[in-house]
Structures are given as C-alpha cells and as structure tokens.
Amino acid sequence: MNQEQNTVHDKSLILLVDDVPQNVQILHQILNSGDYSFAIATSGEETLGLVEKQPPDLILLDIMLGDIDGFEVCERIKKNPKTADIPIIFLTAKVALQDKVRGFKLGAVDYITKPFEDAEVVARVRTHVRLKRSMDILREYNSQLTQTLDEMQTSFIELKESQDAIVAREKQDAVKTLSITASHEMNQPVTVIQGYLYLLRQSMDLDSLTSAQQKYLDRIEKGLTKLIDTLEKFRKSSYLYFLDNDPSH
C-alpha cells in the first residue's frame, strides 16, 4: 500500500483500488488537480485494512481483483458501521445490467467504465465528493442539534424540578402561615371565653346555682378545656409537620 502524505486537511482523500498499476497511474493523473489526496491499494484485503485504519472520502474500486472481488469488498465495507457511509464507485471494463443492479444493491453509488474518459472521471468523482462532504456536514449538524436538544431537555427537567420545589415551598409556607393565623385567631376567643368564665365564677354565688345550672357550667368548662387541648395538639402537630418537611433541616 502506498499513500501520499498531505498536510492540507481540507483535501478529500480518495482511495484508488486496482491490481493493475497502469490503471491507478491513469486515475491519479486525471484527478491530480490539487483538490484531492490519494491512497492506493492493489488488493481487496489491502483495501479493507486501509479503509478500517483511515476511512477515505471516496473509493474508486475495481471489480476484478486478484484475491476477493470488488463486490465482496463493497459488501464488507457497507456492513461495517464505521465505514458504511463511504461512497464507492466501481471501475470495470464491462458492465452487464445484472452487475450494475448487484453493485447498487450492495451500496455502490456509481460506475466508471474502462478505458477512462477524463471528463467523465472528473465529473463523477467531483459529484460524489461534494455529496459526501454535504452528508458529513448534515450529520455534524444533526449531531449538534441532538446534543443541543438533549441539553435543553436536561435544562427543562432541572428547571421544572426547581419550579416544583419553589411551588411546594410556597405552598408549604402558605399552609404554615394559614395554620399559625388560624391557631392565633381561634386562640383569642377561647382566651376571652376562659376569662369571662373565670370572672363569672368569681362574681356569682355558686351555692345558689341549681343542679342543672351547675351541670351546665361544668359542661362549659369541660368543653372549653377540651377545646384548649385540641388547639394545643393542633399547634404541636403543625410544628412537627413543618419541621419534618423543611428542606433546610
């Protein structure tokens, strides 16, 4: 295998595959306009090794090779996910219809017949190199778009979680405020009633109360005591709830 060294990174790499050196030389001369760099292989196995090591932008592949034919080489290249997108143009002296159909089914993009016509070779190679570059750009854009969408989705999820946490905290604060307010508002009249009841007992002659009146007064005191106990339990349970659900603890 021979490969030209090229420091110009934007040149497309073309792999020329033919076991006849003269054919490789002719193709090189036709395409040597300065727009491409070249790699050369003279067998199917050599081609597969080179493609795996350094995938080219385009392969000009002779069908009739000494070890394995171009059809099998094409099939193996297309089955490899790493190299499946490389365009392949078959080189052949004769192209029967069934061979064309077979080649296209295997993934070839075009045919160039021998003997080579300079203008045809240049035109077909230029077309497929440009298509390859366009597809590479589209794949890159698609990859960037997918990455951007993934990042946006992640950001959206994080934002939603933050919003949910804020809403939950706001709800919790609102309930806490309501609980404190309700407890305070209920406690005030109870305290007033408790005070009035005390003054009532101090001011009245308890011995003059009838049995029914005494029972009624006792019932009020018991009910008031029960209400005070209930309010105290409510305050304690509210405090424990907010303490357990406070993110800062």
DSSP string, 106-163: HT--EEEESSPPHHHHHHHHHHHHHHHHHHHHHHHHHHHHHHHHHHHHHHHHHHHHHH
CA 145 to CA 149: how far, in whole Å? 6
Structural tokens at position 240: 């424990």
Q: Over the stretch 9-35, which tens digit does the pLDDT of each residue have?
A: 578 999 999 999 999 999 999 999 888
**What pLDDT does 225 receive?**
74
Higher pLDDT, 220 or 48: 48
Q: Over the stretch 126-172, which tens digit does the pLDDT of each residue have?
A: 999 999 988 888 788 778 867 876 776 776 677 667 767 766 776 66
Residue 6: band (very low, low, confident or very high) from pLDDT cuts 50, 70, 90: very low
Comparing CA positions, the residue from 143, 70, 133 lying closest to residue 107 is 70
Comparing CA positions, the residue from 217, 188, 212 lying closest to residue 201 is 217
The most confident of 37-46, 89-98, 231-240, by mean pLDDT: 37-46
**What pLDDT does 36 receive?**
95
Residue spans of the domains in the chain: they are 2-116, 172-244
* Neighbouring residues of 129: CB distance < 8 A, sequence distance ≥ 6: 12, 14, 36, 57, 58
Q: Place domain 2-116 in its CATH homologous superfamily.
A: Response regulator (3.40.50.2300)
CA 24 to CA 121: how far, in whole Å? 13
Comparing CA positions, the residue from 65, 73, 74 lying closest to residue 19 is 65
